[in-house]
């Protein structure tokens, strides 16, 4: 059983592959554990690569209505009012520079942009899951705009919180390493899935930077934060937090960064069991 670290006031959890099951659902055990944690005064923070358009469904399923860190630290998002509180975007000049280099060196690469509440992608871009959330209004009644399909030059005309680059016929880690070599001096490069898809943010923007800002806004020191994740984009957060955990199904980089590797996977309610140990 995981022992409770001293003075944990905030639990920061990744979503996909960590808190959510593989079918993207929230288990009953996790839902009850989250509610019990908040009743006990533990601050719950979702820290995810997801943009806001993919957060309202999770907020509805979990009942959590606090502030989330989205887009790998580029956004803070109020789950209750469903509004963006802060944003750290890549400017058009940097987007143009990065996409030019990558297209020249990796001709088959295709791009998509997360702008915050909107999403657009090149005609030949192929995502690994449904690009657009289920149709309909959010909890507050706002309609999420549909995704746009446009040529690359039309993706670069405004700031974006995340640039997505999809490789072809390359292994995921190999592709990420190559992108890091080509443009990592100017931007933050990471990934959160199991395909050759990298997520690019402004330099210095990571889950750690977003979580640090959120913790500070609550008067919580890093030594009072426990974080749990499963993929390379979780590594900065795991290295920053005072107490860090990787679920059993985690990528080797997340396992190496964590203080503790949990014995359960996301499909075995690892986060729910971690919460129970923190509340014990």
For residue 200, give the nearest of 118, 88, 106 by alpha carbon. 88
**Positive/negative CA dihedral, 31, 33, 39, 43:** negative
Tell me the domains of the chain and their CATH numbers: 10-87+206-279 (3.40.50.1000), 92-202 (3.30.1240.10)
Helix 92-105 / helix 172-183 crossing angle, nearest 10 deg: 120
Alpha-carbon torsion 232, 85, 38, 25, what sign? negative
CA 105 to chain centre: 27
| Backbone phi, psi, residue 184, to 5° | -65, -15
CB atoms near residue 159 (< 10 Å): 17
Tokens 């601050």 -> residue = 43
Contacts of 99 (CB under 8 A, 6+ apart): 111, 152, 155, 156, 163
The per-residue pLDDT for range 6-37, each reduced to its tens digit, is: 689 999 999 999 999 999 999 999 999 999 99
Averaged pLDDT for residues 202-229: 97
Model pTM? 0.90
Q: For 49-94, what is each residue's pLDDT tens digit?
A: 998 888 888 888 888 878 899 999 999 999 888 888 999 999 999 9
The CA-atom distances, in angstroms, between 51 and each of 11, 71, 73, 110, 149 are 20, 5, 10, 19, 18
Say which DSSP state 232 is in.
Answer: G
* CA pseudo-torsion sign 144, 149, 155, 158: negative
Starting at the earlier edge strand, list the strands of the sheet with 187-190: 148-149, 119-121, 110-114, 162-166, 197-202, 187-190
pLDDT digits (tens, 9 = 90+) for 165-211: 999 889 999 999 999 999 999 999 999 988 899 999 999 999 999 99
Mean pLDDT of 209-237: 97
- Tell me if residue 4 falls in helix, strand or coil: coil
Q: Which 8-state DSSP code applies to residue 223?
A: G
């Amino acid at each position: 059983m995981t022992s409770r670290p001293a003075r944990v006031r905030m639990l920061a959890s990744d979503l996909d592959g960590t808190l959510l099951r593989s079918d993207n659902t929230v288990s009953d055990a996790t839902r009850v554990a989250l509610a019990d944690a908040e009743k006990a005064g533990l601050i719950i923070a979702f820290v995810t690569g997801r943009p806001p358009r993919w957060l309202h469904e999770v907020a509805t399923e979990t009942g959590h209505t606090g502030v989330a860190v989205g887009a790998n630290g580029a956004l803070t998002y109020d789950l209750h009012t469903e509004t963006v509180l802060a944003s750290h975007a890549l400017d058009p000049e940097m987007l143009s520079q990065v996409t030019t280099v990558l297209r020249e060196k990796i001709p088959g690469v295709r791009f998509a942009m997360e702008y915050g509440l909107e999403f657009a992608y090149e005609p030949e871009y192929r995502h690994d899951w449904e690009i657009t959330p289920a149709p309909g209004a959010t909890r507050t009644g706002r309609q999420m705009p549909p995704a746009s399909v446009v040529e690359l030059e039309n993706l670069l005309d405004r700031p974006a919180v995340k640039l997505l680059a999809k490789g072809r016929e390359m292994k995921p880690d190999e592709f990420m390493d190559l992108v890091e070599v080509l443009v990592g001096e100017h931007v933050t490069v990471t990934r959160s899935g199991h395909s050759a898809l990298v997520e690019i943010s402004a330099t210095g923007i990571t889950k750690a930077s977003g979580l640090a800002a959120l913790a500070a806004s609550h008067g919580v020191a890093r030594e009072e934060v426990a974080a749990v994740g499963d993929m390379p984009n979780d590594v900065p957060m795991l290295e920053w937090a005072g107490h860090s955990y990787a679920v059993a199904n985690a990528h080797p980089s997340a396992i190496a960064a964590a203080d503790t590797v949990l014995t359960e996977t996301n499909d075995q309610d690892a986060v729910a069991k971690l919460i129970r140990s923190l509340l014990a």
